[in-house]
Amino acid sequence: MWRTILLGVSLSLPSFADRIHAQHSPEPPRLLDDVRFLSDNNLQGRMTGSAGADSAAAYLARRFSQVGLQPAAGGWFQSFAVRREATGTRGPTGGAHLGKNVIGILPGHDPVLRNQTVVLGAHYDHLGHGGFGSLDPDSTGVVHNGADDNASGAAALIQVAARLAASPPARTVVFIAFSGEEQGLLGSAHYAKQPIYPLADMLAMVNLDMVGRLRNGRLIVYGARSAKEFPALLDSLNWYAGFDLKAQGDGYGPSDHSSFYAAKRPVLHLFTDLHEDYHRTTDDWEKVNYDGLKRVADFSLGLVTALANRTRPLTFLDQPPASPTQTATTTGSGTSGYGAYLGTVPDMTGTPGGVRLVGVRAGSPAEKAGLRGDDIITRIGRIETPDLQAMTDALRSHKPGESVEIVVRRGAAVTTLKATLGDRGG
Ligand SMILES: [Zn+2]
């Protein structure tokens, strides 16, 4: 993460950590190996333009290829010039350094949607031998390995690529390991200016930067207010993941997603928060929480899959909504919308013919009415609900306190339940 801006504000949001935890699949191969390789002393802190950064770039391209990605149009590497003063390095070599973004793609399976993309990014550069960017005053000349910042994100990027390649989604997914981040988001700014795939056809960009220090299950997701649909999507995914999720903020922040938000695209930044080793010589692989990193990778996989498969566009939000009630992580049919509150947690990945629920909130009107996970809502009152938008519209047409019939498919049966709707503060 870029040093010059630090965000420390955390909005308190409901946690479902004590409810359902995702089934942990077996330890993925090489997550630990990838972190260790990238944060080894051999790579000398991966300063942009250095031999160590070039080794890291070659390694990442090889790993992308191994897990089933194809090189981007134009190849695995996108180079950009870095002014010498920007790198903070000293030495006899003249001229500009070259930074290299590493780009692999997974073509989408849908003949139409494959022309659109979702970008998953993580920077792999770090601070080299300190001096510039380091928070250790006496550390100039000492290698800064940057295991959490951001070997963790790069390793998770490979992990998501491997899992997604086994079952490609509808849209094309572009995996980018950025360089030049620590000098001021240089690699991502370069890509945003000269995108290999047009940004107008990019549904969203997801950034993994510092995801290796999960503590107390707390995952921060910045940019949650950069698209109208994000809070509900994150909430739905978290129903299974069980993080203490802090989803908040617009898309500006001290990392690569900012470059895409500035181009007016929806963005998300996953982050396991700052720690005492941030930008110091002690950010080493031994301190990474690998179980936590795997959970973040799993969550990212679900997020990218949902984005790459969704049938509807996202609604970019330039100005965050003024009302603080709309900043919370809630469902479209929950407290964030307008009209009456039901308290369902819909499956945001979509189900034909209705809105499938992953669960209902404790004490909510939905729970009291007898709704439960796996129910598929097909009608609320007189309004058919083939999808979430229709369900949101249906709830908006009612007032808190009204009693409505809700028709659900439950297995082979069709059941009609009666719910007394709450208000959206409930
Ligand atoms: Zn950093």
Distance 92 CA to ligand 1 centre (A): 26
Distance 86 CA to ligand 1 centre (A): 15
Distance 284 CA to ligand 1 centre (A): 13
Is 100 in a helix, a strand, or coil?
strand
Give the per-residue pLDDT at 344: 86
Distance 396 CA to ligand 1 centre (A): 44
Distance 303 CA to ligand 1 centre (A): 24
Distance 2 CA to ligand 1 centre (A): 5
Give the per-residue pLDDT at 188: 96
Give the per-residue pLDDT at 138: 81
Distance 130 CA to ligand 1 centre (A): 11
Residues of the chain with pLDDT under 70: 3-29, 84-95, 319-339, 349-350, 424-426
Distance 184 CA to ligand 1 centre (A): 10
Distance 329 CA to ligand 1 centre (A): 27
Q: Which of 338, 346, 342, 314 is nearest to 426 (CA)?
A: 342
Q: Which of 235, 418, 250, 400 is nearest to 332 (CA)?
A: 235
Give the per-residue pLDDT at 223: 96
Q: Which two tokens stand for residue 2?
A: 């870029």
Distance 11 CA to ligand 1 centre (A): 23
Give the per-residue pLDDT at 3: 63
pTM metric for this prediction: 0.76
Distance 1 CA to ligand 1 centre (A): 3
Tens digit of each residue's pLDDT (9 = 90 or more) over 358-394:
888 888 899 999 999 889 999 999 999 988 778 888 8
Could you tell me which residues are beta bridge partners of residue 206? 120, 268
Distance 390 CA to ligand 1 centre (A): 43
Report whether 186 contacts 133 (CB < 8 A). no
Q: Which of 285, 375, 385 is nearest to 332 (CA)?
A: 385
Distance 126 CA to ligand 1 centre (A): 6
Distance 364 CA to ligand 1 centre (A): 42
